[in-house]
Amino acid sequence: MTQLDVRGASSAAAGVPQPPPEDRAEQALRYRKARSVMAEQGLDALIAFAPGWRRENVRYLSDAPVNGTLALVVLPAGGDPYAFSTRAADLAAIRSRGWVHDAQLLDFPDCATLSGRLRDQGVQRVGIAHLELLPLAVAEALRKGLPGTEIVSATALLDDLRLVKSDWELAQMRRSATVCAAGWQAFVDVLEPGLEEYRIVAAVESEIKRLGAENNFMLIASGGDEVMGMTPPGRRVLQSGDMVRTELTPQMNGYWLQICRSAVVGRASDGQKRSFDLFNEAVEAGLSVIRPGVTAHEVAVAENDVFRRHGYGEYCTAQYTRVRGHGHGLHLDETPIIEGNHTVLPEKAVFIVHPNTYTPLAGYHVLGDPVVVTSTGHEVLIETERKLFEAGVAA
C-alpha cells in the first residue's frame, strides 16, 4: 500500500471527503512527476500560486476550483501538501476535493504561518510557479521570513508538466469537446436577421451550462469585410449576408477546449467562400505537420506559408493577428502557436490550430480545430464539420 493509500484510509475514517480511485491515481501521478522534476532542480518545496486570473497551477496540484485573489498550494519534497487562501470559501473547495486536506487562511501580507511551515520543514530552496505575478508584499514577506532559503521561479516547471496530458486529463477534455459541438450548434441555430449579438451568446451560454460547463470564454464579431477582430457581444443587429465569427471555449471540470467557426446569415458570398477556402487550407497545412516533437514555430510557419503563397502574408503579422493557435488545458490560452516559439509539442499535448486573422476577402475570419498530438500524428478532438455554415439555408 502506498503512502497516499495509507493517508487516504485514515482520512476516510476521520470523515474527510475522498476522491474516486481514478482521481487518486491522477493525484499520485502528478505528485510523482512534480517531485521527480523537483529533485532534478534541487527544490525542497514547490508552491503553486494563483492570482485572481491564473489559477491553473493551484488546480493542477489540488483539483480544486478557487476564486480568491491569492491562493497557494505547497507540495513538499516529502510529506503531505497543504494550502492557503485569502478567501475562506476556497478552503472548503480545496478540502472537498480530497487531494489537499490541510487548508487555512493566509495571514496576508506577512504570511508568517506559511514561512513558519517552510522553515520547520527545513526548506533551503523553494520554487514558486507564477513567482513573476506574486504581489511584492508577499514576495518580500517570504524573503524576510525565510532568510536562508533560496526562492526561484517554478513557472516553467509546472508549464512543462501541464503540457503533457494524462489519460485522465484527456477524458475531461473530450467532455469539453462534446460541449463545444453543442455550443456551436446552438450558435448556428439561433442566427437570423434582426437578432442582437448578445442574444447569440445567451443561447450558447444556456446550452453549455445545461450540459455542465463551469465557465466559457467567448468572443464574437458580426458584419462584412470591415470586421477587423472579435470582441465581447454587443447590441449590433444581424443583417442578411453578415458573417458571424466566434471563438467558443467552454470549461469542463477545470479543462478548457475551443472551437473556432464562422457562419453566414443566409447565403455566403463569393468573397466569403474564397475566404473560407484560404483559411481551411491553412488549417489543413498546420494539421499536416503535427507529430511528436514538432515545434509551435513549425506549425505556425505551415499555416502562414499558405497566406504568403496566396499573397496575403502581411495579414499574418501582429498588425492583424495575435497567434496561429495556442495550447489548451487548465488554462484556456497556453503555449502560443506562433513563429519564433520553438517550444516542442510532445505526444499528448493539446492545442488548437486556428489561423484567425483579417483579410480583405471577407474581413476577419475564424476557423480552427483543437487536436491532441498522438504517436502517429494528431487526433482532432471535435466532430463539428469544418465548413462555412449558412444559417437559415436548407441543406
In this predicted structure, the answer to whether residue 287 has a pLDDT above a threshold of 70 is yes
Task: Measure the CA–CA gap between 249 and 356, rounded to whole angstroms.
Answer: 15
Grid coordinates standing for 371? 487536436
Mean pLDDT confidence for 320-341: 96
In this predicted structure, the answer to whether residue 61 has a pLDDT above a threshold of 80 is yes
Residue 8: predicted pLDDT: 35
Domain residue ranges in the chain: 3-162, 167-391
Residue range 167-391 in CATH 3.30.1360.40: no
Which residue type, as a one-letter code, is found at position 14? A
Task: Measure the CA–CA gap between 100 and 365, rounded to whole angstroms.
Answer: 44
Angle at 87 between CA 81 and CA 90, to 5 degrees: 50
Q: Indicate the fold that domain 3-162 takes in CATH.
A: Creatine Amidinohydrolase; Chain A, domain 1 (3.40.350)
Residue 393: predicted pLDDT: 86
Task: Give the model's confidence band at 2: pLDDT under 50 very low, under 70 low, under 90 confident, else very high.
Answer: very low
7 or 236: whose pLDDT is higher? 236
What is the per-residue burial (b if ≥16 Cβ within 10 Å, else e) of 160-184?
A: ebbbbbeeebbebbebbbbbbbbbb
Residue 6: predicted pLDDT: 29
Q: CA separation (Å) from 229 to 205, 219, 339, 357? A: 21, 9, 20, 7
In this predicted structure, the answer to whether residue 4 has a pLDDT above a threshold of 50 is no
In this predicted structure, the answer to whether residue 333 has a pLDDT above a threshold of 50 is yes
Task: Give the model's confidence band at 15: pLDDT under 50 very low, under 70 low, under 90 confident, else very high.
Answer: low
Contact 32, 46 (CB under 8 A): no
Residue 5: predicted pLDDT: 33
Task: Measure the CA–CA gap between 286 and 296, rounded to whole angstroms.
Answer: 10
pLDDT tens figures, 70-88: 999 999 999 999 999 999 9
Residue 11: predicted pLDDT: 43
Beta bridge partner(s), residue 174: none
Mean pLDDT confidence for 136-165: 97
Phi and psi at 87, nearest 5°, equal -120, 120
Cα dihedral 373, 374, 378, 381, rounded to 10, equals -80
Mean pLDDT confidence for 364-390: 97
The mean pLDDT of the chain is 94
pLDDT tens figures, 102-127: 999 999 999 999 999 999 999 999 99
Beta bridge partner(s), residue 251: 215, 256
pLDDT tens figures, 88-104: 999 999 999 999 999 99
Mean pLDDT confidence for 326-348: 97
In this predicted structure, the answer to whether residue 247 has a pLDDT above a threshold of 80 is yes
